[in-house]
Structure 1
């Protein structure tokens, strides 16, 4: 039996909001596969996102990100997909996400985000003053995640609580069993 292409739960949100952790547990709970668009970009490019940014620039990365996200969304199997924080910056990506699945945005208090990402050297957009970069990027992306079917503030929630909220909302929204 073929699976509807809308059999996806897509996680969006700023870096450090918990997309990777939530995606793994959510996929386990739904017994679906789990994919991360950033990991797919690195696999396809054969190098890290930091290297892509340094060598080719953000535009080249965004082009690769859109291509890999589209591939993930168009696969016929059910999947939980964690996107990179900036995947929502392109209208084509937002439209594709809405076309292919249930979109859940994860949000978080800026200070908690800073605490979560402070020592992560693999995030090219955080080169320099982390606090200022996080607040600046959050301001620039204000409203960028508003197209989601659901928004969950992860600041004070466990990964399990976030997953439970997403599953409940997805079941109410979805026509899938």
Structure 2
């Protein structure tokens, strides 16, 4: 089985941290789509949003999804909004197994409150309310996943073990 393992979920759910650990355990290459966009454009996600707006960022994201979907045997951490584009979802599902990482809004708040690299949260005076609003708005889009792990209830290592158990049971991936 050469399908990619694709981690989706709201910002702050641990996609990058869990993805890196999962890739190491599966002996696969790890790709973080946001990091790749930053590398290719020479700008941070926040700079892309500030200079060109969300539309331009989403267009860069769609190009990156095409790139990773054309490859095999990857563990991919996606940006939180990647599933808002149906074409991204189609490509990622075609080439991979979608795993949703979730956490309660309060957990996400604790994880992201000091970070300044979250453009969708910028300018919000009530960060927790903004997180809840975005989670509600985007929630249905995440239902495309085959398996879900609540990273607020589990450590990184426990989350990785849960994903590995699912992959072994359903796909025979060791």
Q: TM-score, normalised by structure 1?
A: 0.93
Task: Check if 1:110 corresponds to 2:101.
Answer: no
- Structure 1 stretches lacking a partner, 5+ long: none
| SS in structure 1 of the partner of residue 159 of structure 2 | helix
Residues 54-133 of structure 1: matches in 2 within 5 Å?
A: 54-76=50-72, 78-127=73-122, 128-129=124-125, 130-133=127-130
Counterpart of 1:173 (choices 167, 170, 174) is: 170
Q: Secondary structure at the match of 1:145?
A: helix
Q: Per the alignment, do residues 176 and 109 of structure 1 end up closer, same or farther by CA in structure 2, a change over 3 Å counting?
A: closer
In the alignment, the residues of structure 2 paired with residue 169 and residue 31 of structure 1 have an alpha-carbon distance, to the nearest angstrom, of 17
Number of residue pairs aligned between Structure 1 and Structure 2: 172
Q: Which has the higher helix share?
A: 2
Q: TM-score, normalized by length of structure 2?
A: 0.94
For residue 176 of structure 1, report the CA deviation from its aligned partner.
5.0
Structure 2 CA distance for aligned equivalents of residues 71 and 173 of structure 1: 26
Q: Unaligned stretches of 5+ in structure 2?
A: none
**Which residue is 2:132 aligned to?**
135
Q: Which residue of 1 aligns with 2:144?
A: 147
